[in-house]
Amino acid sequence: QVQLVESGGGLVQAGGSLRLSCAASGGFFYYNAMDWYRQAPGKRRELVASINYVGNTYYADSVKDRFTISKDNAKNTAYLQMNSLKPEDTAVYYCHTLGDTDYWGQGTQVTVSS
């Protein structure tokens, strides 16, 4: 059974940094793209960053040059390094991968204070 578990969220001041981790288990993820989404209160869930198995990346314009997505295939873990955080980055961050169906983690709260 595929399971994604996020960690690393928390409360940080504007301008600070956090690193989120997403540990995947229950499957073979080498060829999977891994994505980070976020959902702020009252807003739609949005794609923040994605990385495929060869390391190609995508970033939403709102996080470009501040966030970095990476993937450690040996550990089945994806990361999201978030720098220069802004209050508008406050949201629940979710890890996602597509296998035979969509798999989501439980989410981790990121709160950026001004």
pLDDT in tens, 7-23: 999 999 999 999 999 99
Beta bridge partners of 20: 80
3 or 31, greater pLDDT: 3
Identity of the residue numbered 43? K
Residue 100 reports pLDDT greater than 90: no
**Of 25-39, 42-56, 66-80, the least confident:** 25-39
Q: Are 91 and 38 in contact (CB under 8 A)?
A: yes
- The predicted model gives 23-43 an average pLDDT of 92
CA-CA distance, 66 to 105, in Å (whole number)?
Answer: 23
pLDDT in tens, 62-96: 999 999 999 998 999 999 999 999 999 999 999 99
